[in-house]
Amino acid sequence: MRESTRTFIAIPIPDPIGRQLARWQQELASEVPGCRWTEGGCAFHITLAFLGDVPSRDLSNLCLAVAGAVGPSSRFDLQVAGLDAFPGPGRPRVLWAGITADDLAPLQALRQAIVEAAAQSGYPPDDPRFHPHVTLGRPRSDRKRPPVDLTDLVRREERRAFGSFAVTEVVTYASTLGPDGPTYAPLNRARLQGKKTEATH
């Protein structure tokens, strides 16, 4: 085992929506030449906290802390919808699908609990900002290839929606960098076990 593991914590996107996203990537491919697309399958996710290199001997404690933070949360629904890019569609470096919900508070609370658990384990996430998204691909530009302007594409696709899904688990992943991009492997799955409080009328 390596001495340290590039680690992040995320909500996996369920397969039925992942398959729709993979088909969408194929539709978009001709309009975003030179993009490195996220591999389908288990790779689609909403990153909640990127921790960077964690000493491998600390991983089991970290996973326990994450499970402790996630357990009390109740399941909630999210929807995958719309297209946008970081830092902006005019000079895109990350092309992503958006995340919406009737109420985003449960997602924010879950993320906050995980950030606190990771920090208490000694691994605070490197970025205090949180903009929930699913990365679809990373457009590449260099001296020979100027960045593509995706402003029109993003506008055209703003109403695209992929249905909602219930968030039932949070996964701690190892990310391994390779020549064809990163590959992700689940280290631990933590289930949301809180009881849903029924609305009273």
Q: Which residues bind ligand 2AM (CB under 6 A)?
A: 8, 47, 50, 94, 126-127, 135, 175, 182
Residue environment code for 25-53, b if the CB has 16+ CB neighbours within 10 A, otherwise e: beebeeebeebebbebebbbbbbbbbbee
C-beta neighbour count of 2 within 10 angstroms: 10
Angle CA(66)–CA(71)–CA(74) in degrees, nearest 5? 130
* Minimum CB–partner distance for residue 135 and ligand 2AM (Å): 3
Residue 9 CB, nearest distance to ligand 2AM (Å)? 9
Q: Closest separation between CB of residue 7 and ligand 2AM, Å? A: 9
Using the minimum distance from each CB to ligand 2AM, give the nearer residue, 36 or 74. Answer: 36
At closest approach, how far in Å is the CB of 163 from ligand 2AM? 21
SS3 label, residue 39 = coil
Query: Rounded distance, CA 199 to CA 32, Å?
Result: 45
Looking at the Cβ atoms of 39 and 58, the one nearer to ligand 2AM is 39
Tokens of 1: 């085992």
Q: Which helix (H) or strand (E) holds 6?
A: strand 4-12
Residue number with CB closer to ligand 2AM (94 or 161): 94
CB of residue 39 vs ligand 2AM: minimum separation in angstroms?
Answer: 12
Q: C-beta of 15: minimal distance to ligand 2AM in Å? A: 18
Q: Would you say 36 or 57 has its CB closer to ligand 2AM?
A: 36
Give the nearer residue to ligand 2AM in terms of CB position, either 102 or 127: 127
Nearest CA to 182 out of 1, 6, 45 is that of 6
Contact residues for 156 (Cβ-Cβ < 8 A; gap 6+): none
175 vs 193 by CB, closer to ligand 2AM: 175
